[in-house]
Amino acid sequence: MPEVWFQMVKPTVISTFAGCGGSSLGYKLAGFRELLAVEWDDNAVETFKLNFLDVPVYHGDIARLSGAECMKLAGIKAGELDVLDGSPPCQGFSTAGKRKFDDPRNSLFNEFARLVKELQPRVFVMENVTGMVKGCMKQAYLVAIKTLRDCGYRAKGEVLNAMYFNVPQSRQRVIIIGARNDLEIEPSHPKPQTKPYAGHCGTYKRKIPE
C-alpha cells in the first residue's frame, strides 16, 4: 500500500497551546497526522520543532490567528479537520493560585472556542485543571460548556485521572469533548484501562455539572 495513501487516511489534528508537544506525541502514537501546532512561548516552540520536524508551527499569539489563516497553514477547509485539541492556560482556575474570574489567562479559552467555531472540526478535545469545576469556578465551567455548545457541538466534560491510563502518577484533569451536531454522536469518555499502582488513591471519574 503506498505510503502517501496511508498518510492521507490518517485522522488529522491541530494542536493549540501545544507547548513542547506532550499532546502532539499522544496523537502521533495514536496514529494521527498533525497538520499544525499553535504556540507562542519561544522555548516551547524551539523544543517542539526539535521533536516534531514534520509539523508546521504557528509561533505567535493565538488571539492573532484567524480561522482563515489557520486553515491556510494546515491546508484544509472549514469542516475538514478531524480534531482540534487545546489546553488553554489554567493558572486562573488552579487551586494553587488566586482563582480570580478576571485573570486575563482565563480569556484564552475564548480564543480556543473561536477557532472551534471558525474551523468546525468534527471533534474537539479541551483539557484543564479540576479547579475549573470546584467552588466559585463552577460557573466558569458552565459558561465554557455553553459557549462550546453554541458553536454547534454536543459537549460533555468529565474529570479523569491519568493513573487509570498507564501513567504512574495520580493526576486529575477536566477533559471536555465535543462532537459536531451534524454527526449526531454523543461525546463519551474512555473507561479505565489499567489499575493504579500501589499507593495511589482517588476517583477515576467524577460527574460535573452540565
Query: 22-29 and 42-51 are packed helices; what angle lies between their axes, rounded to 10 degrees?
Result: 20
Phi, psi of 86 (to 5 degrees): -170, 145
56 phi and psi angles, rounded to 5 deg: -70, 150
Question: Catalytic: 201?
Answer: no
Looking at the DSSP bridge assignments, the partners of residue 156 are 177
Calculate the alpha carbon distances from 97 to 92, 131, 132, 174, 175 in Å.
7, 10, 12, 17, 20
Cell of 30: 495514536
Contact partners, residue 22, CB within 8 Å, separation at least 6? none
Per the listing, cell 488571539 goes with 63
- Cell numbers found for residue 65: 490567528
Torsion of CA 113, 188, 20, 168, to 10 degrees: 150
Q: Which residue among 20, 90, 136, 201 is the active-site one?
A: 90
Q: What is the set of active-site residues?
A: 90
